[in-house]
A and B are shown apart, each in its own frame.
Chain A
């Protein structure tokens, strides 16, 4: 197991497979907490109204019910939700966050209880300052409760698909006549290189004309060296078009239904 920059945690399975978890930042977690705070307020208010009916029998019992209900809701909300929703509360669900075991294992009840009870220290002196600072200095963005419980909070954001149709429409891609070379290109190009292609195309209108020419020339040269397409596929197309063709090969969806 090792950690990477940009708040990801990579876990290697005994089968030799690695998968990455995107760690949630303190700000997102704070927003989720605000939503949970509002949820606790609404649930407590409902309980208060319900307890009010007990006042008909005894005002003393009604007051006792309100005190107990608020205590149970404020402490039990996080524990109950994270246990039954497998690491999620209302706030976390809305912001696509989830509490997980630090080693990627199944979350245990003890872990849920400890991380929630340690909020008492994390929330000191106000607005989760201790917890927030701990998140900032911790390599795995953990507050004290997470450290004690061996948990992390991950962000399961949807992988957004770039709007390639807008970039690639109406342009015939001569590379499509050579599927074996397309496959080789996909295989040889790293994620970083693919990202450079995409960013260059998405930001091309922000560049000066000369810088734009220079940039696409360099990128095209790089890919020409990586995989050589026959001359008839590359003849007469500009460097920028060459890069567009590469992007089409790299990002074209093959997944049925996508």
Chain B
């Protein structure tokens, strides 16, 4: 095809400028919606510029115009052919009470697997500590966990001053950020075909099992429940949900039962659910961090154990109801 390049450019340049203008407007404001007339014009300009690109491709030397048109067509293509639901602004309440629990239930199998792995880790940690008390030094990452449980209880209960005074907010922030990082890590390790997620869940289970059995063997079960339940009732399920997200990612990578679907499609399918789960985990950990710093660290006689244990049990019931029942009545569109 031989065309008069000068005439061609003169005739088409206005269309290119118009298309570029629409694209700039859309890109500056992702929430902007075009009306029907504007959509028609946009589509027309896209097709016209595409046709111009096809014509200019016959000119080996016109690299600059070709690059310009390729960029225009590429940008417009993304806008026109996008068929996935747009990331519209979602009401936070609606997302929290509908989308998040529904997403959890949709992938509940991954949650059960996550739970089994952590229980297996807990059993291992408990058995190990009951056979070899020196294993505490290996399993427990914090110094206050390595001391004798009875000694710790006696020290905590006889404390005559608030040892958390002036540090509660900072400690709470530290817990929230640290646990959120661990959760993101558990999710991200799904990319290792889930191996990393499984190891992380198992390791957390080992620590938990070792601590629990250590305190039970020392006869400090009541202290343990009063100390762990208020924040653990939310924190431990949050880590399990992060593990659920990691296993979900791993199942998409591996493609169990969905080998006929391409990896890219499998990953696209779960991306929204992954983000929902991890944001939900983040919110749960904010709550847990707050409770751990401001409530869990106070023991009898400051706060009776019955109150702390009761608080933890209520949390577990509410969380279970929330995850299993919330959003049941109205399906998300």
Complex Cα gap A88–B169 (Å): 34
- Chain A residues within 8 Å of B79, by CB: 106
Among A113, A144, A258, the one with the most B-chain Cβ atoms within 10 Å of its Cβ is: A113
Contact B271 A194, beta carbon cutoff 8 Å: no
Contact A118 B73, beta carbon cutoff 8 Å: no
Interface size on A, residues (CB 8 A): 66
List the one stretch of B127-135, B180-188, B211-219, B303-311 in contact with chain A: B180-188
**Complex interface residues of chain A between 160 and 202 (CB less than 8 A to chain B):** 161, 180, 183-184, 186-187, 189-191, 193-194
Interface size on B, residues (CB 8 A): 66
Q: Is A28 an interface residue (CB 8 A)?
A: no
Q: How far is the CB of B138 from chain A (nearest CB, A)?
A: 22
**Complex interface residues of chain A between 243 and 258 (CB less than 8 A to chain B):** 249-256, 258
Pick the residue among A75, A102, A256 that contacts B264 (CB under 8 A). Answer: A102
- Chain A residues within 8 Å of B167, by CB: 60, 63
Contact A161 B60, beta carbon cutoff 8 Å: no
Assuming the contacts A16-B54, A60-B168, A105-B78, asked whether A114 and B2 have C-beta atoms less than 8 A apart, the reply is no
Q: Is A156 an interface residue (CB 8 A)?
A: yes
Contact A156 B61, beta carbon cutoff 8 Å: no
List the one stretch of B5-13, B93-101, B105-113, B152-160 in contact with chain A: B5-13
Contact A59 B188, beta carbon cutoff 8 Å: no
Q: How far is the CB of A125 from chain B (nearest CB, A)?
A: 13
Assuming the contacts A13-B77, A15-B50, A121-B188, asked whether A255 and B65 have C-beta atoms less than 8 A apart, the reply is yes
Which residue of chain A lies nearest to B164 when distances are taken between CB atoms in the complex? A60
- Chain B residues within 8 Å of A150, by CB: 264, 267-268, 271
**Complex interface residues of chain B between 156 and 215 (CB less than 8 A to chain A):** 166-170, 172-174, 176-177, 180-181, 184-185, 187-189, 191-192, 196
A-B contact count (CB 8 A): 163
- Chain B residues within 8 Å of A14, by CB: 81
Q: Is B229 an interface residue (CB 8 A)?
A: no
Pick the residue among A104, A149, A254 that contacts B74 (CB under 8 A). Answer: A104
Contact B64 A64, beta carbon cutoff 8 Å: no
Q: Is B30 an interface residue (CB 8 A)?
A: yes
Q: Is B236 an interface residue (CB 8 A)?
A: no
Contact B172 A186, beta carbon cutoff 8 Å: no
List the one stretch of B34-42, B118-126, B272-280, B324-332 in contact with chain A: B272-280
Q: Is B84 an interface residue (CB 8 A)?
A: yes
Complex Cα gap A144–B50 (Å): 33
Among A14, A108, A148, A161, the one with the most B-chain Cβ atoms within 10 Å of its Cβ is: A148
Assuming the contacts A64-B169, A110-B87, A255-B64, asked whether A121 and B59 have C-beta atoms less than 8 A apart, the reply is no
Contact B58 A117, beta carbon cutoff 8 Å: no
Q: Mark B230-242, 1 if CB is under 8 A from A, else 0.
A: 0000000000000
Which residue of chain A lies nearest to B5 when distances are taken between CB atoms in the complex? A254
Complex Cα gap A252–B185 (Å): 55
Q: Is B67 an interface residue (CB 8 A)?
A: yes
Complex Cα gap A49–B119 (Å): 45
Q: How far is the CB of A36 from chain B (nearest CB, A)?
A: 18
Pick the residue among A59, A187, A191, A256 that contacts B1 (CB under 8 A). Answer: A187
- Chain A residues within 8 Å of B225, by CB: none
Assuming the contacts A14-B81, A150-B267, asked whether A19 and B185 have C-beta atoms less than 8 A apart, the reply is no
Complex Cα gap A60–B174 (Å): 12
Which residue of chain A lies nearest to B196 when distances are taken between CB atoms in the complex? A121
Q: Is B70 an interface residue (CB 8 A)?
A: yes
Assuming the contacts A14-B81, A104-B78, A191-B60, asked whether A254 and B9 have C-beta atoms less than 8 A apart, the reply is yes
- Chain B residues within 8 Å of A148, by CB: 191, 249, 267, 271
Q: Mark B48-67, 1 if CB is under 8 A from A, else 0.
A: 00110110001111111101
Q: Is A211 an interface residue (CB 8 A)?
A: no
Contact A19 B173, beta carbon cutoff 8 Å: no
- Chain A residues within 8 Å of B62, by CB: 186, 254
Q: Is A11 an interface residue (CB 8 A)?
A: yes
Complex Cα gap A194–B181 (Å): 53
Q: Is B82 an interface residue (CB 8 A)?
A: yes
Leading 4 A-B pairs by shortest Cβ distance: A109-B87, A250-B61, A64-B169, A63-B170
Show 29 A/B contacts (Cβ-Cβ < 8 Å), sorted by A: A13-B77, A19-B53, A19-B71, A19-B73, A19-B77, A60-B168, A63-B167, A63-B169, A64-B170, A67-B177, A71-B180, A107-B78, A108-B271, A111-B271, A114-B271, A117-B184, A118-B191, A120-B181, A144-B191, A148-B271, A150-B268, A150-B271, A159-B68, A184-B2, A186-B5, A187-B58, A193-B60, A256-B10, A258-B64
